[in-house]
Structure 1
Amino acid sequence: MTEQMRWPAIVLVVVSTVVWGMLFGPFLWTEPLDLPMGLAVCGPAPLLIREVVRRRGGGWPALMMFGAGFGAAQYALVGVISLAGLQNVPGGLHYGEPFCLTWVSALGYIAMYAVWAITLPILLTELVFGDRRSQPWLRRTGIVAAAAVLVVVDSLVICAIWALPWAIDRQPPAFPLPVRSLGVAVMAAVLLAAGWWSTTALRGRGESVTAPAPAAAMVGLVALAGSSAWLGINRVADGELPIPAVLLCYLLLLMGGALLIRRWLSRTGFDDRHRLACYAGALAGYVIDQSLMFRPTGVDLAFDVAVCVVAVVLLWRLGKIVR
């Protein structure tokens, strides 16, 4: 790997690690299962997805769909197993949807991967290396090594989950594991196929229009509001709204966000400052949501504050660089 290719790949891993720490907090470094999962996302997954998309000339829609497909695959391999039997535990998750899965929870998990864990680190890193935004960052040996690490880490996580006592002590769900994983696995295959198709069929920028781009601060606030709305639906809807209504809200937000981003990209004057504001707003929405939900204290709070300070400093420095 040449010097020109090495640094973007290293920075992407660093940015992914910081973002992952913002998403999942200090237990990334303390829980034995979350550490390898974090490494799987921080390292090979964003690198591989970016290589596939950029080598085929794809844009942000392909990154999102590949990220969603990867999230669905992770949920099928890990999430379905780790949540086994919770529908029979007082205060646990409420099952009863098709294939005995919490589809609202699954969609939240998939969206977290698609937007925050995969796409945002890639786009943030590409802002740093704007002149190499569309170029490959890995050679064939790097792609093979990243894929091998991802397979090994996921295999270890699955084995570790099966080894936990609670994975076998709880009352089994109504459907066996293969059936419960089937629905999400099919969704993962469809999303990955859609991502492959979109690398050539869809582009990130529509035809230019004469309307000026909104202010960068406005873009950031809209991204903050949109991410907060997406994350807040699951909090408000828990046991209060029927599943179809929740899924419809998700669909409307997804379509509205995609159309708005495409419209912004087509306006004159929409530059990297606007992109940075959009990414920062989405990250801030997730951090605020997690802080309100978990209300960390003590060491957890100190860790969260430290990670957020590092993230703010990095974003501030990046804002000085981009045009």
Structure 2
Amino acid sequence: MKSDSSVSSGRPPLFRRLAAVLALLVLSPVCAEYLIGYDSIIGRPWELVSGLLFLAPLYGTVAVLIREVARRTGRGWPSILLLSAAFGLFQAGLIDQSLFNPHFISDPSWSQERLPTLVPAAGISVHHLMNFVVGHVIWSFAAPIVVIESCVPRLADRPWLGRVGITVLLVLYALAVVVFFHEHTRNFMASATQLGATAAVATALAAAAFALPRRPAAFSGRVPPPWLVGGGAVGVMTTHQLAPAGWSGSVLDVTVLSLGGCLLLFWSRRRDWDRRHALMVGGAALVVNTALSFVVEPLGGHTSLTAKYAVNATLMAAVIALLTWAYRRLLHTGARTTTATLPEQSVLAIGGDRES
């Protein structure tokens, strides 16, 4: 008979939860910064690996903490997306201030993408706003969360960390914020009005996440098969990534994202929606960026094409392997478990989980 205290108390084993946390800590920055292959270090594998030491505390900690808050409070994906938007705006508007800095990157492409939709009174490019915030919502946080949860479906609705673990992540995130803020504001600082407005909007998004109902009612009705949902998600995300940097492109981007989001919200409220559908949407985000990375020119233009394509191909192979394994895990454990609600036992088992 097993004597593991986590088993006797109904909590998943510590090592499984920590493995899931570590996987999300790594996948989040990889999805946020590496898959699309825009950075000049894309052809230098060792720099990519060492970069995770700085990017995991900035991106990965947030992904884990958003997930923990949602699962501990019994909230679903609408709350996760709103919290992701809040942190994405916090990142782009307050930490690195790329949302406002006209010279954030010393590359002509920065101005070419920024100027066509620049709103001078606010100092914000609508194109950049869409790219940064939507990019963080989908690739930095939401997609990595759904993919890793699909890899551990038996733990998907459960908290993974206790008070000690959450405290450690908060400290790591705070340190990362200090480092990146100092690095990116040495030569530029947004105005007090810009910083205040950004903080107010981010706070409002976070508040809205907690104002949503904890347990939305599920409705009867059919939903498209998972492969069709995934194909639609590929189309929506590809359109977002390739939308031209002008007002027409921004209108197209907002329209397609809004229609896609409304369809997802509509379908996910139905009882036939299951984890396979969610994985197809999250997996589509990873596939789109790894596919586009082969045609993205790294900043600076001095990257070895052989090294770039080798890294692109390696990341593509890793993404396919990860998504295949996640899908097989869902089939093995029963993919029809809903992603809409948090089981009662998960909420009741939260309080005493202190060992991680």
TM range, smaller chain: 0.7 to 0.9
- CA drift of 1:246 comes to 5.3
User: Is structure 2 residue 310 aligned with structure 1 residue 302?
Assistant: yes
Map Cα deviations across residues 219-268 of structure 1 (whole Å, 9 max, x no partner): 211110011122222xx2x24x3xxx655444433332222113333455
- Kindly report which structure 2 residues correspond to 1:1-40, keeping only aligned pairs within 5 A, or say none: 2-20=14-32, 21-24=34-37, 27=41, 30=47, 38-40=55-57
Provide the C-alpha distance between the structure 1 equivalents of 2:23 and 2:52, rounded to a whole number of angstroms: 19
Candidates 196, 199, 205, aligned match of 1:191: 205
**Contact 2:29–2:52 under 8 Å retained in 1:** no
Name the one with the larger helix percent: 1
Provide the C-alpha distance between the structure 2 equivalents of 1:90 and 1:10, rounded to a whole number of angstroms: 34
Map Cα deviations across residues 105-158 of structure 1 (whole Å, 9 max, x no partner): 022101111111101111111112222222111111111110111011111111
Partner amino acid, structure 2, of 1:148: V
User: Is structure 2 residue 160 aligned with structure 1 residue 129?
Assistant: no
Partner amino acid, structure 2, of 1:5: R
Partner SS for 2:295:
helix
Provide the C-alpha distance between the structure 2 equivalents of 1:287 and 1:187, rounded to a whole number of angstroms: 31
Q: Name the CA shift for 1:187/1:97 in 2 (closer, same or farther; >3 Å).
A: farther
Partner of 1:148: 171
Partner of 1:101: 124
Percent of paired sites with the same residue? 19
- CA drift of 1:307 comes to 1.4
- CA drift of 1:177 comes to 3.0
User: Is structure 2 residue 234 aligned with structure 1 residue 224?
Assistant: yes
Q: Quick one: higher RCO (CA 8 Å, sep 6+), 1 or 2?
A: 2
Q: Name the CA shift for 1:31/1:100 in 2 (closer, same or farther; >3 Å).
A: farther
Runs of at least 5 residues in structure 2 that lack an aligned partner in the other structure: 1-12, 332-356
Partner SS for 2:219:
coil
- CA drift of 1:61 comes to 0.9
Map Cα deviations across residues 146-194 of structure 1 (whole Å, 9 max, x no partner): 011101111111112234xxx36xxx9xxx5323333332221221111
User: Is structure 2 residue 134 aligned with structure 1 residue 111?
Assistant: yes
**Contact 1:43–1:146 under 8 Å retained in 2:** no
Partner of 1:263: 266
**Contact 1:18–1:307 under 8 Å retained in 2:** no
- CA drift of 1:47 comes to 1.0
Partner amino acid, structure 1, of 2:183: A
**Contact 2:29–2:140 under 8 Å retained in 1:** no
Partner of 2:80: 63
- CA drift of 1:317 comes to 1.8
- CA drift of 1:90 comes to 9.5
Provide the C-alpha distance between the structure 2 equivalents of 1:138 and 1:105, rounded to a whole number of angstroms: 34
Partner of 2:351: none
User: Is structure 2 residue 311 aligned with structure 1 residue 288?
Assistant: no
**Contact 2:220–2:270 under 8 Å retained in 1:** yes
Map Cα deviations across residues 56-101 of structure 1 (whole Å, 9 max, x no partner): 11111111111111010001123426863439x9942324443212
User: Is structure 2 residue 231 aligned with structure 1 residue 208?
Assistant: no
Partner SS for 1:294:
coil
**Contact 1:45–1:150 under 8 Å retained in 2:** yes
Provide the C-alpha distance between the structure 2 equivalents of 1:65 and 1:246, rounded to a whole number of angstroms: 24
Partner of 1:182: 196
Partner SS for 1:136:
coil
Runs of at least 5 residues in structure 1 that lack an aligned partner in the other structure: none
Partner SS for 1:57:
coil
Structure 2-normalised TM-score?
0.74
Q: Name the CA shift for 1:187/1:82 in 2 (closer, same or farther; >3 Å).
A: closer
TM-align CA RMSD: 3.1
- CA drift of 1:48 comes to 0.8
Candidates 182, 185, 191, aligned match of 1:159: 182
